[in-house]
């Protein structure tokens, strides 16, 4: 069985990737970087610069074998643990500070 290629360190350099920078109404920044896997090949993002998102809104589609790296502020409280299954629109991954 092949290792999941999006999970390899070099996948961040060799595979297609897309970054999305989000800013909350309170000014808290979060960045999501999607790295396509060997099978996925394409990255789907449903939002454009300036769009306003609401809690639970889908803004990306992760195809089989892709990976998402999420960068939170240092004072965010991470809720999900390594190895947890997370589900779109329903799993809380982290809680963000109220202000920057």
Q: Which residues are catalytic?
A: 66
Residue reference for tokens 């074998």: 65
* CB contact set of 25 (below 8 Å; sequence gap of 6+): none
CB of 62 within 8 A of CB of 42? no
């Amino acid at each position: 069985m092949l290792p999941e290629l999006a999970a390899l360190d070099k996948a961040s350099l060799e595979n297609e990737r897309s970054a999305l920078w989000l800013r909350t109404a309170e000014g808290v920044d979060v960045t999501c970087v999607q790295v396509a896997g060997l099978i996925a090949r394409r990255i789907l993002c449903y939002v454009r610069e300036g769009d306003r998102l609401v809690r639970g809104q889908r803004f990306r589609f992760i195809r089989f074998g892709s990976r998402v790296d999420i960068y939170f502020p240092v004072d965010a409280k991470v809720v999900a643990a390594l190895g947890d299954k997370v589900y779109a629109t329903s799993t809380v991954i982290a809680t963000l500070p109220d202000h920057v």
